[in-house]
Structure 1
Amino acid sequence: MLRSLSDAGSTVVLITHATKNVAIADQVVFLAKGGRLAYVGPPKLALDYFQVQDFDAIYHKVEHQLSPQQWEERFKSSGYYKKFISERLLSLPQQNQAPAPVKPNLRQQLVVLCQRNLSILLKNKLSLALMLLGAPILGSLNFVLWKPDLFSTKTGNAGQAISTLFVVVVMAIMSGSLATMPEIAKERPIYKRERSVGLGLSPYLISKLVVAFVLAMYQSAVLLYLMLAAVEIPGADTNTGAMYFTLFLASFGSMVLGLIVSAIAPNPSVAPLMILIVLVFQIVFGGGIQPTENLNTNPNAKAVSELMLSKYSFENLVSLSRMGADVADDFCWQKGESRRKKLPALLIAQCNCYNKNVFTKCDFPGLGKIKRTSSLNNDLLKANLLIQSILDGYERVLYNDVSRNNWNLIYLIGGMIWILFMILFLKG
């Protein structure tokens, strides 16, 4: 069949160790160890050149009689080399100047890479299913973990309400980073080959970010919808869009983080172990497990936490939920305890979450669960302790600037994209 293709005008190159049909080839090449050229020419002349009776004997002779370097030198000094290589090279048309390399079209590369990423994703049903089902599965845990009335003033629980918001942020970061973790590590050999033939670094990186951007939009929408369906959050009516934007930044940022881990990992099997370490940092220094006020008292912990996507996303959700808005706006609670006690009765009467007004005008999760007694002072003490217990851990979160935190997230994501670019650039 191959002979027929050759006779029809096609160029056929065959690598083989079978010698029975070598004689029907036009040219044959024998290589010694290390790719050293031992012979090029017609098959029949090869038998004369090596002074053997059949082609099988050539293998044995090339392997044992001389070294690879000696075989190469022997062939180059022979007439066969001059006839079948040197003279043919001289007969080729000479070019005065090598053609200029074609400049790669970066825009076209980006389109092709995006199409290829989409095609690969659609063909890999299991990977696609994990990407699409990860957020719904994690988000469904909200129905199992939390009661719908966590934010209710009458029956809620302020501590669990804060935990709810932190867990949702962790879900966004976890589903995002795990989705992109294998992306670069699994195709590193292909990437290196394509880079060697003109693949631009920018189109490659942007193609990955485009997929991450679209996936982050989907995952954050699913997680937010399931959270709001499972738990009644007072600030959701007016701040749904802002909550979505915060979760989107957390999800997209974590996907960039996953790409960084994938670029650093020496092989795909190491990437999951590395991403686990990254996720532990996001959880520990995010402010949900170790309260933000505790982290802020330790300079080292504070410095690390300020590099965490989870910190800014969590703080934003707490502010946007409006769970402590009345306390944050309360004039009395903006003062220290010693100064509160010295405030005149007229000012205290204007505070919705302090003194007698706390049970009638203050909207704070769990205040209604305080069992009222005949002693108003004891009841007020319990209410103050409830509010103070949250302020001790999350006071700065209640006074958080959402816009500033969003910019901090954007700066973090931009910095991570630059780091990812440099890693890929340095690795070639």
Structure 2
Amino acid sequence: AELLADPSLFFLDEPTSGLDPGLEKKMMYTLRRLADSGRTVVLVTHATANIMQCDHVAFLAAGCLVYFGPPAEALTFFNVNGGDFADIYTKIEGRGDPHNPIVQRDLQAEYQAWQAAHPGGQIAPSLAELWELKYRASSSYQSYVAGRLGQGPPVATAQRAIAPQRQHRVSPLRQFGILARRFFDLTLHDRRNLLILLLQAPIIALLLLLVARSDALTGAQAIDLIQRGEAKKVLFMLATVSVWFGIINAAREITKELPIFQRERLVNLRIGPYLISKIVVLSALIVVQTLVLLGIVALNVHLPVDTGVLLPPLVEIFVTLLLTAMTGMALGLVISAAADSSDRAISIVPLALIPQILFAGLIFTIEGLATPLSWLTISRWSMDALGMSVDLNRLCNLSNTDSSGSIPPGCSPGFLDVDPAFTHSPAALLGRWAALLLYSLICVALTAWLLRRRERQI
């Protein structure tokens, strides 16, 4: 959130608390780089292992400023010879009675000055009070405190008009870069979840190879193929699995970081760059999944070589599956934006997947009221496009070796043997691709609207 606002001042309270030594060092060096880039970083810490990364340190004890200046000079000021800043803590805590070895060695003059200012004092001063007296009389105080206060601009009075401050806004492009890099790093470092997502494609592809015939999409004998039914099963699985990839990849990505999103909205986070960063990173994952799925399936299931509408069939199938998965991803983002928790989002996923199976046109005949409902499913448009690329209608014209001369299942005599859904034409294929893109845009717009509604909860 702080980096998205791109402030000139950071004030951090115990940023290294609870970190192991390695992460503490990494944090301090990160803050050092922020300071080197022109920002001011102020932090409260009790960890001193990497304190030398600071330009100045301030030691406070019992409400007293006992030192402010460069870290190296602090060791000299407190007469610490071992170079361990932790030894300073032992010197500034406790009472400063005259028998205290620290007073006798380092603070005799300050103790006498305190006695002169408090004649008849019954209670010994604290060591912090004596160190403060010593610091105020030192050259470090004159150089790093008094001198700087004297050179600073006059403090504005209550009567003086306060100039309005210009709110610094980070460009959408910079926000996108920060968010995309962060989301990519989080995805990459969540190795267990990433491995599960990446293994889905090869596992499902290998299972499909066990049941799919190698000539399901080609073949020469219609009766051997059981006609279009065998081919439609393979295409149905490819379409449904692609929808699954997209939805499951995105279903948790917003809801799991909803508190972070709400906080970052307070520092001018734009919804557009936030959504685009999700889409870009998830799309890269989808490209890998689609390539693996189609590549493994193509090893055994032969693809036709001359049935493409605009491009080679393999390329058209890849484009269709990629658009299908990305549309599923957009639907998954809607689910994630609408759900209040990751568990609830996952429980909604089956409700989004079941209609993709019912209305794809393979298991049940789509007619009556089911026809307009099928237009709302991703699998319907994906199946149509895949059927065009492999020219499913062509299978009804294959030679029939059945001795009875019966019509192969899935085809009918005359003009009824051609399914209009698989019309082999550029306009029809581009129309299905356009439908998938439009579906994606509607889902993205709905996601943005749901995220904007979340502002009421901030």
SS at match of 2:341: coil
Unaligned runs of 5+ in 1: 11-22, 25-88, 328-352, 354-361, 373-377
Cα shift readout 1:21-69 (whole Å, capped 9, x = no counterpart): xx98xxxxxxxxxxxxxxxxxxxxxxxxxxxxxxxxxxxxxxxxxxxxx
**Pair 1:255 & 2:301 matched:** no
**Cα offset, 1:147, TM superposition:** 1.9
The TM-score, its normalising length taken from structure 2, stands at: 0.61
- For residues 200 and 419 of structure 1, the distance between their equivalents in structure 2, rounded to whole angstroms, comes to 16
**Pair 1:322 & 2:322 matched:** no
Cα shift readout 1:183-220 (whole Å, capped 9, x = no counterpart): 00110001100111111111111100111221222222
Contact 1:135/1:172, CA 8 A, preserved across alignment = no
**Cα offset, 1:407, TM superposition:** 1.1
What's the counterpart of residue 421 of structure 1? 448
SS at match of 2:342: coil
- Give, as a single letter, the amino acid of the residue that structure 2 aligns with 1:98: P
What's the counterpart of residue 108 of structure 1? 174
Identify, as 1 or 2, the structure richer in helix: 1
Show the 5 A alignment for 1:98-247.
98-151=164-217, 152-154=219-221, 155-158=224-227, 159-235=229-305, 238-247=312-321
Identity of aligned residues (%): 23
Contact 2:226/2:408, CA 8 A, preserved across alignment = no
**Cα offset, 1:94, TM superposition:** 5.5
- Give, as a single letter, the amino acid of the residue that structure 1 aligns with 2:59: L
Show the 5 A alignment for 1:308-347.
308-325=377-394, 327=396
SS at match of 1:8: strand
Q: 1:93 to 1:148 in 2, by over 3 A?
A: farther
Q: 1:137 to 1:95 in 2, by over 3 A?
A: farther
Cα shift readout 1:354-402 (whole Å, capped 9, x = no counterpart): xxxxxxxx36xxx34x2x2xxxxx42xx136652299979822232621
Contact 2:385/2:429, CA 8 A, preserved across alignment = yes
Q: 1:390 to 1:427 in 2, by over 3 A?
A: farther
- For residues 243 and 236 of structure 1, the distance between their equivalents in structure 2, rounded to whole angstroms, comes to 13
Q: 1:391 to 1:262 in 2, by over 3 A?
A: farther
Contact 2:303/2:314, CA 8 A, preserved across alignment = no
What's the counterpart of residue 397 of structure 1? 421
**Cα offset, 1:139, TM superposition:** 1.6
What's the counterpart of residue 330 of structure 1? none
- For residues 235 and 393 of structure 2, the distance between their equivalents in structure 1, rounded to whole angstroms, comes to 13
Cα shift readout 1:131-160 (whole Å, capped 9, x = no counterpart): 221222112222112121224233323212
Unaligned runs of 5+ in 2: 1-44, 47-56, 61-65, 70-92, 95-154
Range moving further from structure 2, 399-408 or 115-124: 399-408
- The aligned length equals 302
The TM-score, its normalising length taken from structure 1, stands at: 0.65
- For residues 394 and 208 of structure 2, the distance between their equivalents in structure 1, rounded to whole angstroms, comes to 23
- Give, as a single letter, the amino acid of the residue that structure 1 aligns with 2:287: M
- Give, as a single letter, the amino acid of the residue that structure 2 aligns with 1:402: L
RMSD: 2.9
Q: 1:134 to 1:143 in 2, by over 3 A?
A: same
Equivalent of 1:8, from 59, 67, 72?
67
- For residues 130 and 94 of structure 1, the distance between their equivalents in structure 2, rounded to whole angstroms, comes to 62
